[in-house]
Structure 1
Amino acid sequence: MVPSQTRTIRGFSLLELLVAMSLLVSAVTAVSVLMRVNYDTWIDHRSDSLRHEAAVGVLRHMVRQIRQCQEVSAISAAGDSSGSLTVLMPNGSSVIWDHTGTNVYYGPTTADQLLGNHITALSLVGYEQDGVTQTTDPSAVQCIRITVTYALPQRSVATRSLKSHAWVRAF
């Protein structure tokens, strides 16, 4: 009698290959979705951070310059969200800030240098020497409340505001 020969099957069956490919595609899809969500979150955070830094930079620059000035030459009305300010420095030069559109410009004699962008509002309120009484008379302004407002890029209704007070040096 001839012994029966058994065939050895090598390799994977079609069903095994389909199951392995399905698992691999599922894993790659899950990882790519997770990476995309994390990337979008990072981009949103970076945009928020850049706009916040621009607003802080505008506020810090204005406060430092106002603290060094001799007097206020011109200030916009308290309710004006597109404010402008002109101050006289100790060396006799004028410094001007102006909010136009979503940018704040700065410069001596004319505000033509970009100081900060994505700023939706710049409000300036002048106060007399008591620090409580509001005034728009430049000669009576001894303290200025500066409010810088910016919008968050991905949230159309979300805004943030930064405020500071700066006393005029001559006071």
Structure 2
Amino acid sequence: MELLLSVTLLVSMVTAVSVLLRVNYDTWLDYRSDNLQNEAAAGVLRHLVRELRQCEEVTAISAGTDNSGSLTARMPSGDSVVWDHSGTNVMYGITTADQLLGNNITGMTFVGYERDGVTVTTVPEDVQCVQVTITYTLSSRSVSARSLTTKVWIRAFI
């Protein structure tokens, strides 16, 4: 009888510990997934800022209301660098956006500003500042839509 009671208590304790460990492991996996999505979005934004600060001019910009935007900029080397949001991917490349820069990104918008930093423009020659907004979704949260926004001044403006 004592042996049966001790085995029953042991099985109960092992079951309780395994349930607790499984819940903690699932929480850790959710956190890791969210963190990877945050880092992917922040990495795309850092890349855009770094490259746009070095460009000489914006040669094409999508409308600020286009949630799947694109941007083309001319670099000091003369190359045209392109960023384009397609589906849930941000593509990047020289002349054409053919390399994956980031994934699981649900939206990317570009708003061009004139030299005063306030007047919105879609004329590429007048763009001296670009506001970039990256939108992404966290799969494990109830409030899942997040966005990162920054403004970047073009280095060589007239």
TM-score class normalised by the smaller sequence: over 0.9
* Structure 1 counterpart of 2:149: 163
* Structure 2 counterpart of 1:72: 58
* Structure 2 Cα separation of the partners of residues 164 and 157 of structure 1: 22
* Structure 2 Cα separation of the partners of residues 104 and 61 of structure 1: 11
* Structure 2 Cα separation of the partners of residues 64 and 154 of structure 1: 31
**Structure 2 counterpart of 1:158, which letter?**
S
Which structure 1 segments of 5+ residues have no match?
1-14
* Structure 2 counterpart of 1:117: 103
* Structure 1 Cα separation of the partners of residues 99 and 22 of structure 2: 38
* Structure 1 counterpart of 2:48: 62
* Structure 2 Cα separation of the partners of residues 73 and 117 of structure 1: 25
Look up the SS of the partner of 1:34 in the other structure. Answer: helix
* Structure 1 Cα separation of the partners of residues 100 and 155 of structure 2: 25
TM-score (ref. length: structure 2): 0.97
* Structure 1 Cα separation of the partners of residues 102 and 54 of structure 2: 21
Pair 1:84-2:70 in alignment: yes
User: Deviations 1:82-140 (Å, cap 9, x if unpaired)?
Assistant: 01000000111100000000000000011000000000000110000000010111010
Please identify runs of 4+ aligned residues in structure 1 that moved more than 3 A.
Answer: none
Pair 1:154-2:145 in alignment: no
Pair 1:47-2:33 in alignment: yes
* Structure 2 Cα separation of the partners of residues 158 and 118 of structure 1: 12
Structure with greater Cα Rg? 1
**Structure 1 counterpart of 2:50, which letter?**
R
Which residue, out of 24, 29, 34, partners 2:20?
A: 34
Between the aligned residues of both structures, percent identity stands at: 66
* Structure 2 counterpart of 1:104: 90
* Structure 1 Cα separation of the partners of residues 44 and 144 of structure 2: 20
* Structure 2 Cα separation of the partners of residues 54 and 33 of structure 1: 32
**Structure 1 counterpart of 2:52, which letter?**
I
Look up the SS of the partner of 1:161 in the other structure. Answer: strand
RMSD: 0.9
